[in-house]
Structure 1
Amino acid sequence: MQQGRGRGIAIDDDLPPGRRALTEGLRELHAQLVPPLLPVRRLAERLTTEKDPGWDSSGVYRYLSGKRVAPEAFIRKLYALAEKDAGGGADGLKPLQFFLDLLQGAERKRCGNCVRLRQEVRELQGGLAQAETETSVLRSKVDELHVQGAGLEKALFAARQQAAMHLPVPHPRGDRQVHAQDVAAAKQIARRAQELQDQGDQGAALALLRETTEVLTPAESAATLVLLREQQQKQLVETLIHIYGRDQPEDNVIRVALELHDYGLLDDAGAVLRAAVK
């Protein structure tokens, strides 16, 4: 602790350089008053007026000891008193700007983390800008996917219409062809099952049929059976009939049987019903 020029006021030895310089400057102004180095209580009384009642002795002490950085208003008021007391010798005073510059230096030292904080703010702003850019890119991709989805729907509709032109004709006793909306999924299942069968992977083909019975509608299931019959995949047909009749609700089994009846596959219609009651 170093004894300063103020009467009975000491300055901490570990004050940052900027704050120490400001504190010494304030003491220099304090020494210019008449009488010099007024006690803190008397100085506070002189600084306090009806228009400016905010200066008490404890605050003045903290400013003159460097425990707190004095605000600009205090520096201006102390400078005005020193200038007034100096009278004709006011020319010997350093300019007010000198002391205001000391204040700026003290504030810079007081905010030793400001550079780091500003850098963090810039990084956060950069991250926010990047997030906004990524969000914009994602929105563009979503819009693009919507467009692609609409295109796929049109392509699927066209494929169904094209498929309807090449469907197997049922037995003459049947009264209609397989509808395009029923056969779209059926063609895929039947084609894949035949591929697995041709590759010698009978187990995979049967597993495919077992899984598809959970997702196909009765109309699609019937269409799959029709296509498999046309491909002469007897074992796959019999397996699909057995799985469907065994695992599906009664209403679905009846609907499949009616569909097969309409396609002229009377034996298969009866087989799926028998599988349901075993």
Structure 2
Amino acid sequence: MPSAAVDGSRRPLPRWLTKPLVGDGLPRKRQLALAIRPLLVELWTRGATESGGTPPTQAELAERLHSNSTSLSRFVSLDPRIPSEKFIENLYKAACPDATVSGGCVGITLEALQDLRTSADGERRGCPSCVELGGRIDSLTAQLNALCPACAAREKEREDAAALAASLRQEVASLRSRVRALEASEAGLQARPAMAKARRAPLPVPRQQRDRQRSQKEVAVARQLTAQARELDSAGQQDEALALLRRGTTELLSPTETALVIVELRQQKRDHLVDNLIHVYGRDQGDRPVMTVAAELHEEGAADDAGAVLRAALK
């Protein structure tokens, strides 16, 4: 329905056009009233614009439609009175001067509006044929609003992928929480030896390339995602596996963990998943994450994949 205020006047719609339709009776008349109201609002709005911001009164609208104020109020309410075919035609042509019988205006055609009038009139008179027509209209409306099988299948796939990603996110969060708890407990046990070691002169030992505990955590997270992607791929759900990898590496995993996922998949001969993941990651991620992934891959001995990530980022 059009906005409740008119540009220029900022006046609200009149009460008789917005009054709630209270009651469960006369469902066909309810449909007709709800279809008529937007046309009257369109006519009311245009009248306000043409008059420089002053909307027409109910009586003025009724006179333009060769009717009266009382009838207008009944037509847009659950009053049993049904407008004539001529009134419906006059209203449609006045509110939609550029629409044809086969064209549409505010979401409905003149033919469809006349069908609603016939159905509501049959409901008032208890005509079985008109009630049947109303049932067919409801059935067609339901069919138009329903998703086709292909769309429903795609929607189901999106929902399944989203649910899988949410489950993975929860599992990763739980795993990281357990790792933090383990680190905290180990920190207390290592505090005293560390203090004693600090009092001694440092020994000339080689610098470690990466933290061992951090590496274990990254490997665990990477293997979790890799395992789920492998299960989907083995079940013939390659698209779902790729969607999981894309969302997991961009929303949940760090660049280091992403590099480990690539290494794990390559070792498991899932080359088609790796190549697709490298292309999408290099194309969509920023320079820093891409460079970090490339560096980690090079350190893991996957120089070819490191170069592929960088090349994807340059395309």
TM-score normalised by length of structure 2: 0.33
TM-score normalised by length of structure 1: 0.38
Q: Which has the larger radius of gyration?
A: 1
